Amino acid sequence: MMNNNLITTVTSGLLISILITIFVSIMFGLRANNSDLVVKQAKMGFLRFIITIVAFLIVLFVPVYKSLTLTELLRGIIGDLSITTLLILLLVLRNNLFNHQISVGEFEPLVMRYNKVPNRAFAFIIVVLGCFLYSSYLGYIRFDIYDIGYFPSPLFMLVLGIIELFLWFSARRYALLWLIAVLCFYFKCESSHNLWDYLFDPVLWLICLIRLFRF
């Protein structure tokens, strides 16, 4: 069993470093257009890669407030992020740094385009699922949906049904992400014992909400 805090720490650090890379890229125009030469695209991608690595190391190891790093502050505010969010962030990082294209959907965080992560079908399902979870948490639904995650056997059937929806809407990439998250739950890669915490978190819901209503 791996260190439970390792993945959650890396995920939070990755989120902050990607946001820093977005900000720096917007401010200094470090994004090559499709009309640019391949060499220039490669240089821009390499420069963004260096910025992301430096930012990642800073947010992980440099204290900014009362000996706490930015990663620790973020975890204190929003809690631990899910495995699904980690994988989405890795896809965003891959697309932005190396200018890869994906054939489904398009996601635009802030004002800078990132190539089609996540797709609209995945975003719709996550937003609807989040509405049910938060309605249950706030008491609008008497049945505690989150509590099912502590007894994963019945939840596995629901997860398999949602994965079928991903496949139905041609979101195979995201079906695979959830399968990986389920495997991580089996091997207890995070500190939580609730399956929902591996599949879903508020940051993922917010990303999908932005993606769903951004035309």
- Between 47-51, 107-111, 180-184, the lowest mean confidence (pLDDT) is in 107-111
In three-state secondary structure terms, 18 is helix
Q: How confident is the model at residue 75 (pLDDT cuts 50, 70, 90)?
A: confident
pLDDT in tens, 16-30: 887 787 777 666 655
For the chain, the straight-line distance linking the first and the last C-alpha, in angstroms and rounded, comes to 43
List % helix, strand, coil for the chain (3-state, nearest 5): 65, 5, 30
Count of CB atoms within 10 A of residue 74's CB? 21
Residue predicted with more confidence, 213 or 136: 136
Predicted pLDDT of residue 127: 93
Average pLDDT, the chain: 77
Predicted pLDDT of residue 110: 33
pLDDT in tens, 172-211: 888 899 999 999 998 888 888 999 999 999 989 998 898 8
Q: How confident is the model at residue 99 (pLDDT cuts 50, 70, 90)?
A: low
pLDDT (mean) for 147-163: 86
Tokens of 205: 């819901």
Predicted pLDDT of residue 160: 87
d(CA 179, CA 174) in angstroms, rounded, equals: 9
Residues 6+ away with beta carbon under 8 Å from 90: 14
Residue predicted with more confidence, 83 or 76: 83
d(CA 54, CA 112) in angstroms, rounded, equals: 21
Q: Is the pLDDT of residue 117 over 60?
A: no
Give the global pTM. 0.78
Q: Is the pLDDT of residue 135 over 90?
A: yes
Q: Are the C-beta atoms of residues 70 and 55 closer than 8 Å to each other?
A: no
pLDDT (mean) for 57-76: 86
Q: How confident is the model at residue 113 (pLDDT cuts 50, 70, 90)?
A: very low
d(CA 205, CA 129) in angstroms, rounded, equals: 9
Q: Is the pLDDT of residue 105 over 60?
A: no
Residue 68: φ, ψ to 5°: -100, 140
Q: How confident is the model at residue 39 (pLDDT cuts 50, 70, 90)?
A: low
